[in-house]
Structure 1
Amino acid sequence: MAEPDAAGFLPARHHADLGDAFFDVVEPADFPKHVLRWRNDRWARRVGLGNLTESEWIAHFGRFEPLPGSLARPLALRYHGHQFRSYNPQLGDGRGFLFAQLRDPVDGRLLDLGTKGSGETPWSRGADGRLTLKGGVREVLATELLEARGVNTSKSFSLIETGENLFRGDEPSPTRSSVLVRLSHSHIRIGTFQRLAYLGDQDGLRRLVDHSIRHYMPDAWSEDEGARTLAFFERACANVARMGAEWTAAGFVHGVINTDNVTVTGESFDYGPYRFLPVYDPKFVAAYFDPVGLYAFGRQPGALRWNLCRLAECLIPFASPARLELAVNGFDGLFAGALARATLDRLALEHGEPAADLDFVSALYGFMASSGVPFERFFFDWRGGPESERRAGESPAAGLYAGVDFAPVRAGLLGRRPTGAANLSHPYFGGNPCTLLIEEIEALWAPIAEADDWSPWRAKLEEIATAAEAFGTLIPGRS
C-alpha cells in the first residue's frame, strides 16, 4: 500500500497524550461493502493525502487502517453535555471516533480526522453506531456550502456507502448506511470540560486546559495558572462569538447547539438537523424536535453565550470568577463586532468605523426581516456595493430595493468601497445565487434513493464549488 505524500503528510497523535481517562480505544465496524461516494480531493491534496488510490482511500477511511505515524487505534472520546438545557452524563462518542491527527502543512494547525457512523462504542447507549446515507449526503452539502459562504466549518473529507439496511423513525426505513470522515481543527467540546468538572477531576481539567492552550491557542500561555486559564476562556469566547456571527451572515440554522456540539476552537461541526434560511426570520427553527424554538435562528447567539457560561463554571477552580463573568458579559459585543465583519466580508465591502459598521449591519438585517427579500439573493445582488447598483436594479428583487425602507441600507452600501474580493467579473454573478433550501436537499436525495442517480447531487456540489471560487473562499489544495 502506498504511503501518504511524504513531503506533505505530517502525522500527529497529541490527543493520545492526554491519557486513557479521556477516551476509550475502540474497534471500527466491519462493513459488508465500501462504495466511495465523496472524496474531498482539494483538502486531501492540502494535507498530503491526495496521492492515495481509491482502494487505499477506502482502506484508511472505510476500514480505518491506521495512517502511518498517527494514532495506532481509534479513540472514542469521552464527554458530557447539556442537551436542550438538560444535563446528560451518559454522552461520549456513540457512533464515531477520533481516527487520526495531523498538521496542516500550510498553516501548521493541528487537525483531526474524526468519524460519524463508524460503529458501536461504549457510549452508544443501545444505538447501532451507524449513519444513514442521507445523513452523510446532507452533511457533505452543509459543509461545502458553509465553507463557500466563509464559515469556519469542519470539512467533509470522505463519504463511503457501507451496504447495510438501517431502521430510523425519521425517514423511510430500511434506509442505506454510510460512514463519514470529517477533517476538523479540534474535537474538544465544552462538554469535554463538563465531564471532568462533573467527576471532580481537577487534575484532568488542568491537563485539558493546558493541552488546549498548547495546541490551539499558544499565544494564551502563561506560567501563571489563573492568567492562562482566563486567557484560554477569553479566546474560546471570541472563537464561539465569531462562529455564531458567521452562521448569521450565512443564513444558517444549526439546529442542535448543545454543549457537546460546541468546540472551544469555534469551528462549526456536527450537522444533523440544519437549515439555510429562505428569508431572514429570527423565529426559524431547524429541528423538528425543538418545538419551543430554543435554537431558532435569532436565538443562536444567546444559546452560544449560555454554553460559554457552562464552560466558565468548569474553570472557576483555576481563575477568578469575577474575571470569568466579565469575559462572558463581553460576548454580546464580540458577537456584534464579528457579525459586522462577517456581513461586510460577504458583501466584499471594506470595514469602516466600528460604530458605523454596526449601525449599517443593523439596518441591513432590519430591512431583510421586514421586506422578506430572499436571504441569499440580497447578498448576491449587492456584492461589491456601488459596483452592483446596476445589477441589483435588474434583479427579481429590484422592487424591494426601490422603497423608502431600503434608503438607509442603500446609502450604507453605496458609501462603502468594494474590496478586491468582489470578483464581479466571475461568471457566477451573471446567473443566480447558489442556495440550499430544504426542498432542494430533498430533491437531490430523491434520485439517489429511487434510482441510485448521483448526478444531481454532484452537479450541486459543482455549483457550490463555483460559488466558492467566485467568493474567494475555495481553499486551493497543494499542487
Structure 2
Amino acid sequence: MPASTDCAPPATTPAQPLLAGWHDGFAALGPAFYTELRPTPLPAPYWVGTSADMGTLLGLPAGWQQRGDALQAFTGNAVPPGSRPLASVYSGHQFGVWAGQLGDGRAILLGETAAGQEIQLKGCGRTPYSRMGDGRAVLRSSIREFLCSEAMAALGIPTTRALCVTGSPQPVQREELESAAVVTRVAPSFIRFGHFEHFAARGQQAELRQLADYVIDRYYPECRNDANANPCAALLRAVSERTARLIAQWQAVGFCHGVMNTDNMSILGLTIDYGPFQFLDAFDPGHICNHSDHQGRYAFDRQPGVGYWNLLCLARALLPLIQDVEQAQAALDSYEPVFIAAFMARLRAKLGLRQARAGDEALVDGLQRLLAAGRVDYPIFWRRLSHAVAANQFEPVRDLFADRAGFDAWLLQYQELLALDDQALEADLMLKTNPCYVLRNHLGEEAIRAAKLGDFSALQTLQGLLARPFDELPGHEAYAGFPPDWASTISISCSS
C-alpha cells in the first residue's frame, strides 16, 4: 500500500531542485496556440494523494511528497523555475454539436520535463478559455481522476496519468458547496482532436499545418517514411488505428467514458478527461454513466461508433492538408477492422483462448447476450470464470445466471474450445487479464466521503489495490465483491 501522506510539509525546502530540464515543447508552437499565464493560488493547501510511480517516471527527487515546494508547485501557488505556464486553445463538438472555441478552461500546462512528459495542473484557476466557469476542480472529481488514471495504467490501457492531488479549504460551488482541489496530470501530450478543429474552422491553414507537422515530427515520425504517402493522411490513419485499439480495450474491460466530445479525444490515443466515467457493474450494453447525457449519445455500446464519428471530424479538419477526400476516407477505413480485431483479441484473452478459431465471434456474441439478459455483474463474472477454468469447476459462474439452461448451452461451446489448448495456460492467461479489482463507483465514493472528512486512508488502500488489479490480496475481499444496493443511486455528472 502507498505510504501515508504527510499533510504538514517541513518549513524548509531541500536544495535539490524539484524539477529541472524543462523543454518548450508545445510552447514552441507560438502564441496562436495558447495564452501564457500563471495559476491562481489556493489557500492552505494539503496533500490528498500521490503516486510514487509517477514521481519516479518524472525524475522527482526522493521524498518529494514531504517537500513544501512540491506542495506549492502542484497546487499552483508557485511556478517551478524554468516552467512557462500556459493554457491552450482548441474547439470541438460537444454531444454531436459544434461548440466553437473551447480551450483549457481550468487546466494550465507547466511545460514538458526532461523525461518527455508534459505536466498539467487541473483546477488551478480561470484562464481566457474558462467561459462562464470558475476554473476550479473539486475534491470529489480530482480524486476520481487521480484514481482512475492510475488504475487504467495498471490495467495496461493507454491513459493520461496523475502525479498527485492537493486540496484546499477554499469553497467551490457545484451541485452543492464543495472544497477545491488540483490534480496534477501527466502525458506525452495533451493535444486533442479539437486543436485541429479549431484552426480548420477558422481557416488558419498555416497554423493547422504547423500543428500537424509538430504532432507528426514529435509523435508519429513514421508518417513521413513513405515518400508516396501524404503525411497528414498517414497521421489520420495512425490516429484512427490507435483510437480503435483504445476503445476496444474500453469495451473489453467494461469502461464507460461518459463524455466523448471531440475536445476530449487524445491525438495520441490516450484515455483523457476523466469526468462522468464508470466501470460497469451489471452488464448493460445501453448503460449511460453521465446523467447529463439525456439522449444516451455516449452509452456504453455506442462508444465504438462515436469514436469513428469523432475521427470523421478530425478528418474534416485535416482535409485542407490532405487535399483528397478519397485519401482521407481511406485513412479512416482501417478503423472498423482494427477495432474488431483488437476487441476480439481482448475477449479471447479474457476467455483464455490463446489463438483465433472459427466460432470465436459467435461464442463472444452469445456470451454478451447472456450477460445482458441477466444483467450479470461484469467484473465478477470474468474473475469467477478465470477461477472456474483453473479448477474446472463452473458452478460458481453458473450461479450468476438466471437463465441456467442458456448458460449451460454456452458453456458446452466454450469448453469445446478450451479443450483444444492447455487448460493451465488458459487459466493463467485469464487471471492476468481479468482484474480482481476495478474502480467501481461505490469504491471511489467511499474514498471520497472519507477524504472529505480528512481521512485519506481509504483512498490510499484503494490506490494500492488498483495498482495491482490482478492480485488477490488477503483481507480485501470486499473490494472485489458485489456493489451495495446504494451504488445504483450514485449520480455522475460532468462536474464529477
> How far off its partner does 1:101 sit?
1.2
Q: 1:317 aligned to 2:308? A: no
> How far off its partner does 1:346 sit?
4.6
Measure, in 2, the Cα distance between the counterparts of 1:157 and 1:468: 22
Query: Which of 193, 212, 216 is residue 213 of structure 1 equivalent to?
Result: 216
In the alignment, structure 1 segments of 5+ residues that lack a partner are 105-109, 472-479
Aligned to 2:344: 340
Query: Which of 353, 360, 370 is residue 373 of structure 2 equivalent to?
Result: 370
Query: Which of 449, 454, 457 is residue 456 of structure 2 equivalent to?
Result: 454
| SS of the residue 1:308 aligns to | helix
Query: Which of 408, 411, 431 is residue 406 of structure 1 equivalent to?
Result: 411
Measure, in 1, the Cα distance between the counterparts of 2:419 and 2:379: 19
- RMSD (Å) for aligned C-alpha atoms: 2.9
Q: 1:89 aligned to 2:100? A: yes
Q: Residues 364 and 409 of structure 1 are in contact (CA less than 8 Å); yes or no, is this contact kept in structure 2? A: no
Aligned to 1:241: 244
| SS of the residue 2:368 aligns to | helix
Letter aligned with residue 134 of structure 1: R
Aligned to 1:47: 58
Q: How does 1:251-266 map to 2 (within 5 A)?
A: 251-266=254-269
Deviation digits for residues 381-422 of structure 1 (CA, Å, limit 9, x no counterpart): 2338843533x4445846659521333334345545566993
> How far off its partner does 1:252 sit?
0.8
Deviation digits for residues 199-230 of structure 1 (CA, Å, limit 9, x no counterpart): 10111111111111111112112485962111
Measure, in 2, the Cα distance between the counterparts of 1:64 and 1:414: 61
Q: 1:80 aligned to 2:88? A: no
Letter aligned with residue 201 of structure 2: Y
Measure, in 2, the Cα distance between the counterparts of 1:420 and 1:12: 46
Aligned to 1:189: 192
Q: Residues 151 and 250 of structure 1 are in contact (CA less than 8 Å); yes or no, is this contact kept in structure 2? A: no
Aligned to 1:475: none
Residue range with higher mean Cα deviation, 252-261 or 369-378: 369-378
Measure, in 1, the Cα distance between the counterparts of 2:88 and 2:46: 27
Letter aligned with residue 35 of structure 1: Y
The alpha-carbon distance between structure 1 residues 425 and 275, as it changes in their structure 2 partners (threshold 3 A), is closer
> How far off its partner does 1:243 sit?
1.2
| SS of the residue 2:467 aligns to | helix
Letter aligned with residue 234 of structure 1: R
Residue range with higher mean Cα deviation, 142-151 or 74-83: 142-151
Letter aligned with residue 70 of structure 2: W
Aligned to 1:159: 165
Measure, in 1, the Cα distance between the counterparts of 2:384 and 2:330: 40
Q: Residues 32 and 164 of structure 1 are in contact (CA less than 8 Å); yes or no, is this contact kept in structure 2? A: yes
Letter aligned with residue 411 of structure 1: E
Measure, in 2, the Cα distance between the counterparts of 1:323 and 1:296: 31
Q: Residues 112 and 119 of structure 2 are in contact (CA less than 8 Å); yes or no, is this contact kept in structure 1? A: yes
| SS of the residue 1:466 aligns to | coil
Q: How does 1:276-315 map to 2 (within 5 A)?
A: 276-315=279-318
Letter aligned with residue 199 of structure 1: R
Aligned to 2:11: none
> How far off its partner does 1:4 sit?
5.2
| SS of the residue 2:266 aligns to | coil
> How far off its partner does 1:283 sit?
0.8
Q: Residues 171 and 177 of structure 2 are in contact (CA less than 8 Å); yes or no, is this contact kept in structure 1? A: yes
Query: What TM-score comes out, normalization by structure 1 length?
Result: 0.86
Q: Residues 381 and 397 of structure 2 are in contact (CA less than 8 Å); yes or no, is this contact kept in structure 1? A: no
Query: Which of 133, 141, 151 is residue 139 of structure 2 equivalent to?
Result: 133
